[in-house]
Amino acid sequence: MAELQLKSHRFRAEREADWRRLEALLGKAERGGAAQLRRDELLEIPVLYRQALSSLSVARSISLDQSLVNYLESLCTRAYFFVYGTRTRLLERIMNFFRKDWPEAVRALWAESLVAGGLMALGAIVAFMLVTNDPDWFYGFIEPGLADGRDPTASAAELRRTLYAPVSAREGLSVFAAFLFTHNAQVALFAFALGFALCLPTAALMLFNGCMLGAFLAVFHGKGLLYQAGGWLMIHGATELFAIIIAGAAGFSIGWAVTFPGERSRVDAAAEAGRRAATAMAGVVVMLFVAGLLEGFARQLVQVDEVRYVIAAASLVAWGVYFYWPGKEAQG
When pLDDT is averaged across residues 70-83 and rounded to a whole number, the result is 88
Residue ending a domain, choose from 87, 117, 138? 87
Instruction: Return the pLDDT at 332.
Output: 40
Helix pair angle (110-133, 200-222), 10° resolution: 40
- What is the tally of structural domains in the chain? 2
Instruction: Return the pLDDT at 221.
Output: 96
In contact, 66 and 9? CB cutoff 8 Å: no
Longest dimension (CA), the chain: 96
pTM of the model: 0.72
Instruction: Return the pLDDT at 318.
Output: 96
When pLDDT is averaged across residues 82-88 and rounded to a whole number, the result is 69
In contact, 156 and 223? CB cutoff 8 Å: yes
CA distance 149 to 300: 19
170-206 per-position pLDDT tens digit? 454 555 556 666 767 888 888 888 888 889 999 999 9
Residue 92 above 70 pLDDT?
yes
Task: For residues 38 and 112, state if they share a domain.
Answer: no
Residue ending a domain, choose from 54, 87, 120? 87
CA distance 84 to 191: 36
Residue ending a domain, choose from 48, 64, 87? 87
CA distance 51 to 160: 76
CA distance 304 to 311: 11
Structure-model confidence comparison of residues 64 and 217, the more confident one: 217
Structure-model confidence comparison of residues 330 and 248, the more confident one: 248
Task: For residues 148 and 221, state if they share a domain.
Answer: yes
Task: For residues 220 and 274, state if they share a domain.
Answer: yes
> What does each C-alpha distance from 41 to 46, 55, 215 come to in angstroms?
10, 20, 67
Task: For residues 56 and 160, state if they share a domain.
Answer: no
Structure-model confidence comparison of residues 117 and 146, the more confident one: 117
Residue 303 above 70 pLDDT?
yes
Task: For residues 118 and 57, state if they share a domain.
Answer: no
Instruction: Return the pLDDT at 168.
Output: 47
> What does each C-alpha distance from 40 to 20, 23, 78, 194 come to in angstroms?
17, 16, 19, 52
Instruction: Return the pLDDT at 91.
Output: 80
> What does each C-alpha distance from 1 to 4, 6, 8, 64, 331 come to in angstroms?
5, 9, 11, 9, 70
In contact, 107 and 99? CB cutoff 8 Å: no
Task: For residues 59 and 107, state if they share a domain.
Answer: no
Domain of 7? Answer: 2-87
Task: For residues 152 and 32, state if they share a domain.
Answer: no
Task: For residues 66 and 171, state if they share a domain.
Answer: no
